[in-house]
Amino acid sequence: MFKKIKLLILAAFFSTLIPSLSLQASETDHFHYDLQVELFPEEHKLKGKARITMPETEHKTRFFLAPTVRVDQVSLEGREIEHSFSNGILEVILPQETDDAQATLHISYQARFDNEAPHRPMHTEDPTHGVSAVIKKEGTFLSGRSGWYPDQGHGAATWRLSITAPPGYLAVTAGSLAGHATTPEYSLSVWIVNQPLPSLTVSAGPYEVSSDLERDIPVYAYFYPESRDLARDYIQAARRHLDFYQDLLGPYPFEKFAVVENFFPTGYGFPSWTLLGSAVIRLPFIMETSLPHEIAHSWWGNGVRVDYSQGNWSEAITTYVADYLLQERSSEEAARDYRLRTLRGYSSLVTAEKDFPLSGFISRHNPESQAIGYGKGAMVFHMLRRKVGDEIFWDALRLMIRENMFQEAGWDDFEETFSDLADKDLRTFFEQWVQKPGGPLLALHDVQLTGRENDWTVKGKIIQEEPYFDIRLHIHLETEGQPKKVELNLDGSEKSFELKTASRPLRLRADPDAHVFRRLHPGEIPATVERIRGSESLIAVAASSLSQKEARAAQVLLQALNRENIPLISEEDTTEKKLQNRDVLFLGLPRDYADPLFDQTDGTELWSSLGFTDGGQLSSPDSALFAAVNPPGDPETTWAYFVSSSPEAARDAARRIPHYGRYSYLLFAGGEVRIRETRDPEQLPLEHVFVN
């Protein structure tokens, strides 16, 4: 089933194969590209020849190319034609007789692409890391909108791509693999894309190619030689996830699926392939997290495409059917934990000033936008599922796919499809959760217990702060016997409830399983990395015990959290007044402000693993600690401590900490995270415990 693709040594292979692969310039309503590209990795350069068949033409036709491109020649039917190229716009003047007719244009060009590709990026909010096109010996990445080919900029196109590169340097893109060949002088990769796509992205490098070709959907792994040991596991995992999503959502819409290794950290999902960074693919959880997420994008985003005028819904539904659903399949507890983490992440990061509606989400560019577009969006689909029921929910998603495959769809299409299948008007639901920012802020109020022995009554109110949302909320009463449940509809400032039970009440909770998207009160959110990352009042304090070398290493954490511009003061200049009502990140162990750390970690697994020297450093070598706590009596404020045993350990841990946003305590040793814990919140406004 699993095998490595044998690279053909005979150059004659492509001399016979290539002509048979050319698509006929038939009467179509889309462009067709025949691209022949030669890569020169040592020079960061490419040379290209584009044969573009246009279904109809205008006297002036424009293409986008990167501003650094040099256009060598533009011709029509063998004769050069007038053109101009400036600021990335190639304007071609076509003869009058070609107006409205099909025509085939030839463009020869060359370009240098040398974006700096980070191996250990500091900021993780921008998934592109600022890289749109790069050609290097270690690898090539050419994004579809970088201008590496003459882009007509509107509509979709079909493609035939032939890439020549140094021996062993292979290319991968969308569509079907026509073949790879290598000789002592060069390698050649040919791909055919018959399904029109809005753009074409390419990755290339010194890949070893492995495959599973036994079934209808070929599955490939394009990995560097150092990662060859991972290929089998990734192919098997991809096959398993493809089977799952075909059962859930319907037939896979593309010709193949490929997992491709990138030489800098990425997590991209393209039509029929995903591009994962070398550092990413070795993380043990990626095959069960990022990989299914990118595969699910085959249906959502790459299959059914996004009408961005209504906002980007694809990350929300993909997060729900991948990241969340995998937790739900694991256990109810794991699913509840995921929903609660989503609420905490949103409430920690998204202030009222930074909030915006789902209809305004286009792409992730910072933690706040991710918390809205991915997190809140996934919760909206969860609430929609509970509103219409499982059968209608999954049927509606499959219908969305069947009716909109390879077409643009917006939130309006989801509203129409779900309303039709559920036979109810869901306009209010979508207006509230998609067009309106924020979420409800709720609390239990005036809870009273009366009665005795076998006749108990619990009364109370659910109160909501403005702006008001229309929600359905479960009230759960735990007793010494059978629990009692009631569902409330809350659409204003408050709603009263009453529960009667024959057993003594123990605890009352509203929305105990976190099924409703809401903004949490500060006291409900444990002190975590995210609380520091999203703080509006953060300052940093450099401990007096910190050497200059250690201080520089500790400040890497500020860069990693994208908070390097916050005030930084020394411990000697610090007073209690300066820290009042401020979130604080202590760099090093402070002499006068460490009591909250010691008090709140005492008795935890973290505490038993720690040991501090008299100088305020960790006694164990190659270790680093991040701990977030609340100062005494102030659950709305977070104090965090970053302490290390060496500058090297500090720099290594600092780069990792932003990836563990939901945790309060992190202990790193030997380059690995050894302990990760989350503190329980200090206040629970939706919980009331009855005193015996």
Q: In the chain, where are the structural domains located? A: 2-206, 305-435, 442-520, 525-677
Tokens representing 531 are: 């609380």
CB 175 within 8 A of CB 272: yes
| Spatial distance between the Cα atoms of 238 and 257, rounded to a whole number of angstroms | 8
Please provide the DSSP assignment of 61-85 as one string.
Answer: EEEE--TT-EEEEEEETTEE--EEE
Helix (H, G, I), strand (E, B) or coil at 60: strand
CB 645 within 8 A of CB 629: no
CATH architecture type of domain 525-677: 2-Layer Sandwich (3.30)
Q: State the CB neighbour count (10 A cutoff) for residue 677.
A: 15
pLDDT at 419: 98
pLDDT at 77: 82
| Spatial distance between the Cα atoms of 409 and 305, rounded to a whole number of angstroms | 6
pLDDT at 569: 93
Q: Do the domains 2-206 and 525-677 sit in the same CATH topology, yes or no?
A: no
pLDDT at 19: 39
pLDDT at 130: 63
CB 255 within 8 A of CB 176: yes
Tokens representing 243 are: 């089977």
Strand (E) or helix (H) holding 419: helix 411-422
CB 306 within 8 A of CB 230: no
pLDDT at 15: 40
Residue 398: which of 242, 217, 246 has the closest Cα?
246
Half-sphere exposure of residue 522: CA atoms within 13 angstroms, side-chain side = 14
pLDDT at 157: 94
Q: Helices 377-388 and 411-422 meet at what angle, rounded to 10? A: 10
CATH architecture type of domain 442-520: Sandwich (2.60)
Phi, psi of 241 (to 5 degrees): -70, -35
- What letter represents residue 92's amino acid? V
| Spatial distance between the Cα atoms of 599 and 641, rounded to a whole number of angstroms | 13
CATH 1.10.490.130 describes domain 305-435: no
Indicate the CATH number for domain 2-206: 2.60.40.1730
Q: What is the mean pLDDT of each run of 10 residues along the chain (692 residues)?
A: 47 41 52 97 97 85 94 91 94 78 91 76 52 93 95 90 98 97 96 96 97 94 96 97 98 97 90 94 90 97 97 98 96 96 94 94 92 98 98 98 97 98 97 97 96 92 96 95 94 95 96 97 91 91 89 90 90 91 93 88 74 66 91 89 91 90 91 88 90 78
Strand partners, 489: 472
